[in-house]
Amino acid sequence: MTAAADKDARPARSASADGASEPLLSPVNSHNEWDPLEEIIVGRLDGATIPSDHPVVTCNIPPWAARMQGLAAGFRYPRLLVERAQQELDQFVALLESLGVTVRRPDEVDHRRRFSTPDWSSRGFCNTCPRDSMLVIGDEIVETPMAWPCRYFETHSYRTILKEYFRGGARWTAAPKPQLTDELFEADFRVPEAGEPMRYILTEFEPVFDAADFMRAGHDLFVTRSNVTNRMGVDWLRRHLGPGYRIHEIKSRCRTPMHIDTTFVLLAPGKVLVNPEYVDVDHLPDVLSSWDVLIAPEPRPIDERLLKVTSMCGKWLSMNVLMIDEKRVIAERHHTDMLRALEKWGFEPIPCDLLHYAPFGGSFHCATLDVRRRGTLESYTD
């Protein structure tokens, strides 16, 4: 075990009644995307509010959704959308529990309440996707400095759980809270056309990143630069984690990049699922040279008109799967070609419905944060 692994595995200590120091076994332990899953946080739909029409929000979502959002920002999501998503979310939670996974939930929050900093004010969004706001590295949970103003206080709804984990021995870190002033955003930003040089709405004014732009494989993390994650954010995390970890950038051809888990998804040791539209497989990091690169099949079209015009996500949400262990994987029932491909590649897909969660920002991977997986810190790359 390396020195970094020793540091990561070292238990926290607490004082007993007689003053002696006793080790605490952290309730948080997750080093990769595939070790056997024991405990997970699942998001909540209660109080969900249509996000603001700030340019950093609208540049990331499909144009039709952005137009509707501009008219409805700050209002509650329509009951019809919430009820359909809630039914599927409840079934997903029941499935996880039937597989022996402990499921934790954030507090209910009225996201329509307005809040402010000295520089701006906003209403909230929702806490449907814990994957975005928190990053688990070993026994540490890092609250991320997100770029959307409407998500500024989103992690407060998880504080009950975070404090419990901290008292139990977990490490709990909050990245520097960003100011999110105009200096962070490119004025008059325009999404680049195909063939144009890539550009992003974010400047390097301060570090910002979403946890969902990272994938974990023990000592190695993979990241996509995006419209919510800048280089300064990646640099902050690299320095915070120290020499025991390496962070590799995955270049995305997506013109509106946001979150790695519909582009590049780690499934098991030596196996990675990639989006053929966004990723050039000939230019993956060298550390993946011995890995099997699995090409995601074309997603099955979604015919439901209401879902097509309200989804905040692209068609490749079919890749947003959740590993229960190295073999079992929860995947969207609608995407039958993906289910067949996973089975062909030697996995055991577990079909589940979560298609109507897309208006709230994601699917199985986005909607969760794996807090504890049974495993240790290892290296899986060359």
pLDDT of residue 89: 99
pLDDT of residue 4: 42
Residue 271, burial from CB neighbour count under 10 angstroms (0-12, 13-18, 19+) = middle
133 vs 162: CA distance, rounded Å: 12
Give the pLDDT of the chain (382 residues) as one tens digit per residue. Answer: 344 444 444 455 555 545 555 667 899 999 999 999 999 999 999 999 999 889 999 998 767 767 777 788 999 999 999 999 999 999 999 999 999 999 999 999 999 999 999 999 999 999 999 999 999 999 999 999 999 999 999 999 999 999 999 999 999 999 999 999 999 999 999 999 988 999 999 999 999 999 999 999 999 999 999 999 999 999 999 999 999 999 999 999 999 999 999 999 999 999 999 999 999 999 999 999 999 999 999 999 999 988 887 888 889 999 999 999 999 999 999 999 999 999 999 999 999 999 999 999 999 999 999 999 999 999 999 7
pLDDT of residue 13: 55
8 in a domain, yes or no? no
68 vs 223: CA distance, rounded Å: 30
Number of domains making up the chain: 1
343 in a domain, yes or no? yes
144 in a domain, yes or no? yes
16 in a domain, yes or no? no
Q: What is the CATH number of the domain that holds 125?
A: 3.75.10.10
318 in a domain, yes or no? yes
Centroid of chain to Cα 40: 13
pLDDT of residue 309: 79
274 in a domain, yes or no? yes
**Structural domain harbouring 146:** 27-373
Edge-to-edge strand order for the sheet containing 368-373?
Answer: 102-104, 37-42, 368-373
Counting DSSP H helices and E strands in the chain, the numbers are 9, 19
169 in a domain, yes or no? yes
pLDDT of residue 18: 53
11 in a domain, yes or no? no
Q: Which residues are catalytic?
A: 210, 259, 366
